[in-house]
Amino acid sequence: MRRGAFLLIALVAGWLSLSPARAAVDRAWNDVPLPRLMLWAWERPTDLRGLDAQVGVAFLAQTLIVRNDAVRVVPRRNPLRVSPATPLLAVTRIEGGGSAETASSSEAVAGMAAAIAGTMALPRVRGVQIDFDAAESERTAYRALVVAVRAALGPQVPLSITALASWCAGDRWMRGLPIDEAVPMLFRMGPLNEPYAALARSTSAGAPECRGALGTSLDEPLHIRAGTRRVYVFNASPWTPASVGRAREVLE
Amino acid sequence: MNRWWRRALAVCALGSAGTALLLACGPFFSDLVTVRHSKPADPAGYARGELGVVKPTFERRYLAQAYRTLGGLPPLATVLPAQPSYTAPAQFTDSFAEWMAIQKRELPAATAATLKPVSSTRIAADYSSFDNCLESAFAAAAAAFKERAAHYGARHPLLTDWVAGQAAVFQNCGSTTLVLPAPITVDDPRLRADRDYQTAAAYFYATQYDEAAGRFRAIAGNAASPWRPFGRYLAARALIRSVTVPAMPPKDAAQRIAAAERDLQATLADKDATTLHASARGLLGFAAARGRPLERLHELAGRISSAPGVAPQDLVDYTWLMDLALGENTAGTSPFDLAAVTKGDDLTDWIVATQKRRVRAVERWQQTRSERWLVAAMWTAAESDPATAALLDAAAQVPRTSPAFATVAFLRVRLLIRRNDPTAARAVLAALPDAAGQGVDVETFNLLQAARFTVATSLDELLTAAPRTVVAAVGPDPPDEPLKYTKATWDDDVAAVFNSRMALDRLVDAAESTRLPTRLRHRVAQAAFTRAVLLARPQAGIRAARVMAALETAPSEAALRADLRRYIAATDEAARTRIGVLTLLGTSGLSINVGGRDDDDSYAHDMPALEFGHTFPHNWWCKVEDSPGQGAATLIVSGGVPFPAFITDDERRATATELEALKATGTAREYLAAAAIDWARQRRTDPEAAQALALAIEGWRWSSCYDNRKSDLPRRAFALLHRQFPNSDWAKQTKYWYD
């Protein structure tokens, strides 16, 4: 499966860890120049022209499909219509698949990093976000990829990653990642969410990387105390003025 | 949200929250349905014209097939849609790789250095993307290279010039800046013709479609160009893209499409362009659907309702146009008046009347007296409609050999039931097949059984009509090999009658009857036992427990059997109640509900689960399940399942009282946790009280009820367990409580 694809990434992890981009980003979590309310716009026709500049859009810009040592870039298929004033974050989703085979090239990680960093070239994009549910065995490789993306972006471009809630609650593997924020996904968690509900209610719970933002979903509203945190809102249905209104209520 | 999605979400959620080892979601269970609503239950048979019961909810391609078959036309084998296939973007194909190798090999390093990486996909200003350069373009370029290499000779400067021109063309696939091939510097007629073509193609891929169309037309007018036959065809493609690619279609879209149609007609008239004719015909259909949608709709309807055979694309286009005409697409509104949609088009009129249940269906039947319109009218007519008597008479005359027979027979019974004439319905049903295969397919027989179930006059009759047969496994992850589902099942509509239309004593009677197959009988028996414990009805509980104990014969169920026997043998009612509670606590598969529709997980397990499910937490119950779901009853009656006729008024009142009492007990975990706490308080040294507390705490965690109610019960149970039984194994095993 995609573990195999990431083996090669692990091989170059050491090389990348020596790169200058490994230096920590010298920026407070809340200094990322994006609004406190961000709407996730996934792969469907989306019209959010009615938003004011206080609400941003994190849109799926592309999906990287990793199979063995090959990476396929599948760009967004559906239109996104936004006001010129809307701050945009380009999201890259990483998905695995295929059979495990030995891979030895560093081209894959470089290609992935270039593709992710390349979304900054899209019009009016202010930062990038990586959405990858990395398995435990993939963390070293994922770390290397994040480091490479940071190197490609430079230190000033906001770099966000989504995080499984467990990464923020007790599993502190993200320490030292050169990111601006990790967004714990506090939805689709089912009955095992007890350790993670605290992340929604407290601004000081969880790993430091996770204290600047959180992710929730309109169809699974949690009791959230956002504080100064940035809130990303997912909507399983198309965005409408009414659902945007409900997203604003999440922040309130 | 249907059940397999709930499960899928549960699996994903458990994986993502509980472990970092999540690689993919699944497995996804399939629902085992006894009646299908959007597709035929037997698609292969339907393609042969074996219609079964035609439903208004069918996808329109299937209604088109029904229209043909009911009218005596040969069925369309093409009615079954092709499996969707994924076409990879060109840059992941061998043709792309072959061209890139040619480019790399043939171009001087200095030229190659000026080229950017080629992406076959183009990203638009609205962040969307489309496959701009298709695989066939790279394949054609590779083939043209070989032909020109043979003509000029390897490493010839003109060959290199040609490759450089073609490389420039492909620079436009993903780039937003126009890149044109360099003008030729040697007056070679062939290279000039190629360069003209390459330049037009560069404009095409750069999305400058008007310029491209003009240049392609000029090529069409150049008799000396080997590309002449392609000129009008590619001009048409440029014009079509000029309408479909921009986020907002141009105002003159209709004129552009009309011009494209003229170019395509010219291509069809060109004998030198025969290799393009099939594609041109396809594009003409595409253009007609966009440029003249209503006209094209009627054109296709005429073909579908009269031609001996219909191309698969015609069915696709017809259903797409119907979606457009009825506003059932992303636009949400129809651009046409409904009268214009159906005018002079009997197929479309029939489909709209059937699906929208329009009064017109009855009018058309009265005009035509055809079986087609009889079907539409019987789905549509209200029970109070004055035409129903005539409809019923006509339905009675439909011979068994007619393709309409199954539909009309079912609708006849349905209409009689809706007219509150169960006696007549029973008389009709008595003459209809009492097994699948006797002239009716499995789904039709399920529907007839549902009707018999609805008009049953005794519990015996009802139980006889209750079992159904699986007709399809429906879900996102169906088995590779179609499975044979031979065990008796039923759907949510049957379960809803047991759950909400029968008092406990009737449930026990049903459990004791041998009319039901064992696995279904057990479903009723366990619900009766559970309700008896909650309602403190020991005699009913004992009867139900005896049935369960007799049915549970597997060695793995020894503990449950022992509990049931203890329950039966208890010498005082307080002890019996405690044993009943402990039995429920220790058997997560017990519920106050009779289980309804199977999925492939429940199908594999006939007896109740003994341990708490973690991945799929279907433990105990949350509330009385009284929804008919999508069972056959929803096609017969509306507004929920009715009481069986033999249930007396006294029983109906008793049922209501029991349901209120069950509702008052709350969810299973609330009832059982409270019962365990009471038990421990009253019997402070009873070791089984410790067990009950521990199981209540564990069960609380794995409950499937998301009631969002904060409760103090698990914390109290935990405190009581550790305070009162600190040295018990149950206390040692129970280290946490869960709210």
Q: B121 touching A, CB under 8 A?
A: yes
Rounded CA-CA distance B553/B607 in Å is 10
Q: pLDDT tens digit string along B265-293?
A: 999 999 999 999 999 999 999 999 999 99
Higher pLDDT pick, B584 / A138: B584
Q: B16 touching A, CB under 8 A?
A: yes
Is pLDDT at B9 greater than 70 in this prediction? no
Q: 3-class DSSP state for residue A118?
A: helix
Q: A190 touching B, CB under 8 A?
A: yes
Rounded CA-CA distance B196/B181 in Å is 9
Domains of chain B: 92-315 (1.25.40), 492-615+629-649 (no CATH), 668-733 (no CATH)
Q: How many CB pairs under 8 A join A and B?
A: 93
Q: What rounded mean pLDDT belongs to chain B?
A: 92
Considering only alpha carbons, which residue of chain B is nearest residue A169?
Answer: B17
User: Which of B8-22, B76-90, B610-624 is least confident?
Assistant: B8-22
Residues B702, A75: C-beta atoms closer than 8 Å: no
Instruction: Please list every residue in chain A whose beta carbon sits closer than 8 Å to the beta carbon of residue B18.
Output: 166, 192
Task: Judge whether B32 and B598 are in contact, CB under 8 Å.
Answer: yes
User: Nearest CA of chain A to the CA of B314: how many Å?
Assistant: 26
Q: How many residues does chain B have?
A: 739
Res B609: pLDDT: 82
Rounded CA-CA distance A233/B372 in Å is 50
ipTM: 0.81
DSSP category for residue A136:
G
Res B709: pLDDT: 67
Residues A81, B247: C-beta atoms closer than 8 Å: yes
Q: A136 touching B, CB under 8 A?
A: yes
Considering only alpha carbons, which residue of chain B is nearest residue A166?
Answer: B17
Q: Exposure of B568 by Cβ count < 10 A (0-12 exposed, 13-18 middle, 19+ buried)?
A: middle
> Which of B93, B127, B329 best probes binding to A when mutated, by most A CB atoms within 10 angstroms?
B127
**What's the whole-number mean pLDDT along residues B535-556?**
93
User: Nearest CA of chain A to the CA of B177: how many Å?
Assistant: 14
Instruction: Please list every residue in chain B whose beta carbon sits closer than 8 Å to the beta carbon of residue A100.
Output: none
User: Nearest CA of chain A to the CA of B22: how many Å?
Assistant: 6
Q: A197 touching B, CB under 8 A?
A: no
Q: A167 touching B, CB under 8 A?
A: yes
Instruction: Please list every residue in chain A whose beta carbon sits closer than 8 Å to the beta carbon of residue B92.
Output: 72
Instruction: Choose the closest CB to B12 out of A59, A80, A188.
Output: A188
Q: B128 touching A, CB under 8 A?
A: yes
Helix ranges (DSSP H) in chain A = 2-11, 13-17, 107-118, 139-153, 165-169, 194-201, 241-251
Res A146: pLDDT: 94
Res A1: pLDDT: 36
Rounded CA-CA distance B686/A42 in Å is 57
Please report which confidence band the pLDDT of residue B477 belongs to, taking 50, 70 and 90 as the band edges: low
Q: pLDDT tens digit string along B429-438?
A: 999 999 998 7
Rounded CA-CA distance A68/B211 in Å is 43
Residues A80, B127: C-beta atoms closer than 8 Å: yes
Res A169: pLDDT: 77
Beta-carbon contacts of B668 under 8 Å, excluding residues fewer than 6 positions away, are B584, B591, B592, B619, B620, B621, B622, B699, B703, B705
Considering only alpha carbons, which residue of chain B is nearest residue A115?
Answer: B119
User: Nearest CA of chain A to the CA of B41: how many Å?
Assistant: 30
Higher pLDDT pick, A111 / B273: B273
Res B6: pLDDT: 42
User: Nearest CA of chain A to the CA of B324: how many Å?
Assistant: 18
Q: pLDDT tens digit string along B237-262?
A: 999 999 999 888 899 999 999 999 99
Residues B123, A122: C-beta atoms closer than 8 Å: yes
Please report which confidence band the pLDDT of residue B5 belongs to, taking 50, 70 and 90 as the band edges: very low
Instruction: Choose the closest CB to B128 out of A77, A139, A192.
Output: A77
Residues B20, A166: C-beta atoms closer than 8 Å: yes
Residues A45, B121: C-beta atoms closer than 8 Å: no
Instruction: Please list every residue in chain B whose beta carbon sits closer than 8 Å to the beta carbon of residue A58.
Output: none
Q: B124 touching A, CB under 8 A?
A: yes
Res B4: pLDDT: 41
Q: B9 touching A, CB under 8 A?
A: yes
Is pLDDT at B27 greater than 70 in this prediction? no
Please report which confidence band the pLDDT of residue A189 belongs to, taking 50, 70 and 90 as the band edges: low
Please report which confidence band the pLDDT of residue B358 belongs to, taking 50, 70 and 90 as the band edges: confident
Q: A182 touching B, CB under 8 A?
A: no
B343-381: b (≥16 Cβ within 10 Å) or e = eebbbbbbbbbbbeebebbbebbeeeebbbbbbbbbbbb
Residues B129, A59: C-beta atoms closer than 8 Å: no
Tokens 């200058």 belong to which residue? A20
Instruction: Please list every residue in chain B whose beta carbon sits closer than 8 Å to the beta carbon of residue A188.
Output: 9, 12-13, 16
Q: pLDDT tens digit string along B88-112?
A: 788 888 999 999 999 999 999 999 9
